[in-house]
Amino acid sequence: MLAVEGLTVAYGGLKALSQVSLAVGDGQFVTIVGPNGAGKTTLFKAISGTVPTEAGRIRYEERDLLAMPAAERAHLGIAHVPEGRQVFASMTVLENLEMGAYPAAGRRQWARNLERVMALFPVLAERRDQLAGTLSGGEQQMLAIGRGLASAPRLLMLDEPSMGLAPAVADLIFERIGELHREDRLTILLVEQRVAEAVQSCDFGYVLETGRVVLTGSSEALLKDDRIRTVYLGM
């Protein structure tokens, strides 16, 4: 479904990503883990078109994504739930979800998607008329995911959904993500710092360190691999 080949991204002389390749198959749950500064967010931004790329290709359902303006990519069924949530703080919860449903597909299935989002995160239903900026961190993350889902995506990209959240809340979010994969058969690309939670539920994982892919493998293989610990903790 999504294929990244030899992707290189550089900002002002320093390479954020070098020669990164990865593939996400239809219906797969793929995880990218790695410590801070590994280039995970940059990879997502390159897929969404908000950073310029230097070399490589990104193909999505046989289309060349790099040839498309950033705003058109969402209309192909790619939902990007960005790092740090980035909800529209001055708009209500419901308005945020409506904005998520901006692409035509999202508008067509609005009622169904809204119901699904509210079922996944009932707290959003309670707060539907509250300004997003006044929500707690966990609620904002739920809203950001809900906003992504409202576009009726075929590929859901999640960037560090657990960032800054209390463990219990993070667990809840991971649970819901797993549910989306299992029950809704959604294709998911997840970037995470918290390795175990992220790797455990995935089909396939990549470990990124300073802009390169250093390890790949299935969920079970990666979980057993103690090299991940070295990548994170240095020893």
Partner 1 sequence: MFAETFLEALAAGLFLGCIYGLMCVGLGLIFGVMRVINFAQGDFLMLGMYFNLYVVSVWGLLAFLGPAAAPFVGAILAGPALFVGGYLLHRLLIARVSGTSVSGSEDEGRSAQLILTLGVALALENGALILFGSTPQSARTTLALRAWEIPLLYDPTAAVFINKASVVACVLSLVIASALYFLINRSRLGKTLRAAADNPAAATYMGIDVDRAHRIAFGIGTGVTAVAGGLVATYHPFQPYVGLDYVIIMYAGVVMGGMGSILGAFWGGLTIGLVQQLSTLVLPTQLQNAAIFAVFLLVVLMRPQGLFGRAAERI
Partner 2 sequence: MAGRGGLLFPLAAIAIMALGWLALGLAVGNSYYQLMMTLVPIWAVLGLSWNLLSGYTGLVSFGHASFFGLGAYTVTILLVRFDLTPWFGIPLAMLVGVAAALVIGYPTFRLRGHYFALAMLAYPLALLYVFEWLGYQEVPLPMKREAPAWYMQFNDYHVYMALAVGLLVAALLISLAVERSRFGRSLLAIKQNEPAAEAAGIDTLKWKMRAITLSGAVAAAAGGLYAVVLLVVTPDSVFGVLTSAQALVVTLFGGTGTLWGPVIGAVILIPLSETLQAELGNVIPGIQGVVYGIAIILVILLAPEGIFWRVRDWLHLARGAPGAADRSAAAAPRAVVPVSAERQTSPNILLEVSGLSKSFGGLRALDGIAFQVEEGAILGIIGPNGAGKTTLFNLLNGFLKPNGGDVVFAGQTLVGLKPNRICRLGVGRTFQVVRAFQRMSVLENVVVGAYVRAATEDEAFEIAREAVARVGLSPRLEALASALSNKELRLMELARALAGRPRLLLMDEPLAGLAAAEVEEMLAAVRALPSSGTTVVIIEHTMRAMMRLAERFVVLNHGRVLAVGGPREVTADAGVVEAYLGSKWTALHARG
Q: State the residues that interact with partner 2 by CB under 8 A.
A: 11-16, 35-37, 137, 160, 163-164, 166-167, 193-198, 200, 210, 223-224, 226, 228-235
Query: How far apart are alpha carbons 190 and 187 in whole angstroms?
Result: 10
Runs of H (alpha helix) within the chain: 40-48, 70-73, 93-100, 104-108, 110-120, 122-126, 137-149, 167-184, 195-200, 219-224, 227-233
Please give the distance of CA 11 from its chain centroid, rounded to a whole number: 22
Query: Which partner, partner 1, partner 2, none, binds residue 56 by CB below 5 to 8 Å per kind?
Result: none
Report phi then psi at 76, rounded to 5. -85, 0
User: Beta partners for 64?
Assistant: 59
Query: Which partner, partner 1, partner 2, none, binds residue 168 by CB below 5 to 8 Å per kind?
Result: none
Give 110-114 contacts, CB < 8 A, sequence gap 24+.
110/150, 113/149, 113/150, 113/152, 114/150
Query: How far apart are alpha carbons 191 and 206 in whole angstroms?
Result: 9
User: Which residue in 95, 171, 203, 225 binds partner 1 (CB under 8 A)?
Assistant: 95
Query: Which partner, partner 2, partner 1, none, binds residue 69 by CB below 5 to 8 Å per kind?
Result: partner 1
User: Could you say whether residue 42 binds partner 1 (CB under 8 A)?
Assistant: no
Q: Which of residues 67-86 bind partner 1 (CB under 8 A)?
A: 69-75, 79-80, 82, 86
Cα 224–Cα 4–Cα 155 angle in degrees, nearest 5: 80
User: Could you say whether residue 89 binds partner 1 (CB under 8 A)?
Assistant: yes
Query: How far apart are alpha carbons 188 and 66 in whole angstroms?
Result: 20
The label of the residue with tokens 């999504």 reads 2
Q: Which of residues 123-182 bind partner 1 (CB under 8 A)?
A: 147, 151
Query: Which partner, partner 1, partner 2, none, binds residue 210 by CB below 5 to 8 Å per kind?
Result: partner 2
Stretch of 33-41, 45-53, 116-124, 164-172 contacting partner 1, by CB under 8 A:
45-53
User: Which residue in 18, 48, 140, 201 binds partner 1 (CB under 8 A)?
Assistant: 48
> Structure tokens of 33?
């883990």
Q: Which is nearer to partner 2, 63 or 227 (CB)?
A: 227
Query: Which partner, partner 1, partner 2, none, binds residue 15 by CB below 5 to 8 Å per kind?
Result: partner 2
* Binding-site ranges for partner 1 (CB under 8 A): 48-50, 69-75, 79-80, 82, 86-91, 95, 98-100, 102-103, 147, 151
